[in-house]
Chains A and B, each alone.
Chain A
């Protein structure tokens, strides 16, 4: 694994205004910590970091970071923030790593083939798109591939069954943890809706507006059915009468 190069400068100005000025100048604020060092505020060129993140290893690239052109640290990208719409980088976090210490990283999981269950109409459910693995920084694999051709409907693949991992790389999950599974397709939600209608009609506070209220008094106030003499008027009919009266008064 080759290490990427990134140059950074120590940033003294902190806060929202300073960060915005920095971004206007074509740099972004960053921070580096971990491995016994004190947290250091930095500024870096976003173009360089984007180039690294788009590389083969992506977020798992080990970077040789030159701070102010002098000290060189071995770091990895811990986190980064993007603008939700513009998608440009806004901030980055780096964590210092050591080549002789194991770390936990998330490696892309690639499924190979088309499961037999999917051919029969099932859906491949990938539980971990990025598989957490534990290894030394210089042994991080680009990706982990698993063969799913033989998975039938209802079958799953656990962490224990993943093969072909490079030497020194272990999966940081429980052995019986499901990684991918083939499930039956979801039922038509129309059926669920039909079942949900009576529940919505219950006149509890917060029932679907416009649906809960009429359901409560709909039966007694059925049109064309006269109430028995002396019987109490239906609550809904009573309400309607009151509203009519109120309306007349308003018009006056």
Chain B
């Protein structure tokens, strides 16, 4: 699963996900893309599940790009613990995905196959998604 190799600080504040994504909103590398229409934290497990779903459907043809990276540590307190006593331990890594962000891109497969692969991957993600095609942005 995706995770940073090392970070400067182990824990991070929660933050907010207002507005739309200003970068990474277009098809930049492949022919087809999966774009997020919601703002959400996408965990490294969800990204991996989506990647596996895509690569199984396309049978390892073509090339896949993952356009998001889970670089935000999420801490959780253990079960049945009283409040206080400091922030919990880092438990997982998430990518902050805002509306409009492209999550996956694929190249080298026909469009119906890419559509189906992204449909399967979208079921693994916590956001509504949309299929994008290169050259049909306007």
Which residues from chain A sit less than 8 Å from chain B, CB to CB?
50, 53-54, 82-85, 87, 89, 123-125, 129, 185-186, 188-189, 193, 199-200, 204-210, 213, 250
Contacts and interface: CB of A to CB of B under 8 A. Distances in A.
Tell me the interface secondary structure of chain A in the complex: loop
Contacts of B37: 85
Contact of A210 (B4, B91, B108): B91
A50 B136 CA distance: 12
A160 B51 CA distance: 38
Given A124-B108, A206-B10, A206-B73, 8 more contacts: A85-B37, A85-B99, A123-B108, A185-B60, A205-B7, A208-B1, A210-B89, A210-B90
A208 B91 CA distance: 8
Contacts of B93: 208-209
A209 B6 CA distance: 11
Interface of B: 1, 3-8, 10, 20-22, 25, 37, 51, 60-63, 73, 75, 82, 89-93, 99-100, 108, 134, 137-138
Contact of B8 (A50, A84, A123, A206): A206
A53 B21 contact: no
A55 B8 CA distance: 50
Contacts of B89: 209-210, 213
A85 B92 contact: no
Tell me the interface secondary structure of chain B in the complex: loop
Contacts of A84: 20-22, 25, 99-100
A53 B138 contact: yes
Contact of B63 (A186, A207, A208): A186
B100 A85 contact: yes
A16 B138 CA distance: 23
Given A206-B4, A206-B6, A50 B138 contact: yes
A87 B137 CA distance: 7
B61 to A, nearest CB: 8
19 contacts: A82-B138, A84-B20, A84-B22, A84-B100, A85-B20, A123-B62, A129-B134, A193-B1, A200-B3, A205-B6, A205-B10, A206-B4, A206-B8, A209-B73, A209-B75, A209-B90, A209-B91, A209-B92, A209-B93
Contact of A207 (B6, B25, B100, B138): B6
A160 to B, nearest CB: 25
Contacts of B3: 200, 208
Contacts of A210: 89-92
Contacts of B82: 250
A186 B1 CA distance: 17
A73 to B, nearest CB: 23
A123 to B, nearest CB: 5
A185 B137 CA distance: 28
Contact of B60 (A82, A124, A188, A208): A188
